[in-house]
Chain A
């Protein structure tokens, strides 16, 4: 059974800092990995998707990497802004399995 872990559960950083969020998974036989953002009380917004054959994807200030062999993915956020404050979840497919998320707070 696939298990997805995100550490830390919560992170606070000053505005302008670069930061990395971590995601690990136990079964490397994944189809793709997706990072989502969730604002309090809201649904999920897709940020980046990495196919299993890819190693990274970039969108604006966001860069996601994937290392299937080690069962890890990272989400790098450059020049953080208060509007980046949210919970970030990673999820892997085959069957879409989510991590519990990292709650990010950017301090102005």
Chain B
């Protein structure tokens, strides 16, 4: 039973072409996160939400934006992807003192 779903699982985009990654959850958790994970590195927090209250980390590039239209859905927009944005993007939720993560979206930038 998938609880955190990310689409697509693999996304290929061209340098500078905007892309949107999506995440949905069936857990009804107020807290949601977006993480960026580059190869062999720790996941890096980009954004987190408590309900619709939104926080971005101080070092999250301006090129990244996030939207959460309702409790279940959250989107990550990359306005002008660069080669350095190629990574795995992980969506997570928090509830009952536990973090849950989706399978991730692997972004390739050509």
Contact = CB atoms under 8 A, between A and B. Distances in A.
Q: Do the two chains bind?
A: yes
Interface of A: 4, 32, 34, 36, 41-46, 49, 51, 89, 91, 93, 95-101
B27 to A, nearest CB: 13
Contacts of A41: 88, 106
A46 B99 contact: yes
A42 B104 contact: yes
Given A44-B101, A46-B100, A100 B40 contact: yes
B97 A44 contact: no
Interface string B74-92: 0000000000000010101
Contact of A42 (B33, B94, B103): B103
8 contacts: A41-B106, A44-B43, A44-B101, A46-B99, A46-B101, A95-B45, A98-B43, A100-B40
Contacts of A89: 42-43
Q: Which of A41, A43, A51, A91 has the most CB of B within 10 A?
A: A43
- The 9 A-B residue pairs with the shortest CB-CB distance, nearest first, are A43-B103, A98-B42, A44-B101, A43-B104, A100-B42, A43-B101, A98-B43, A49-B98, A43-B102
A46 B99 CA distance: 7
Contacts of A101: 42
Contacts of B100: 46
B41 interface: yes
A26 B45 CA distance: 18
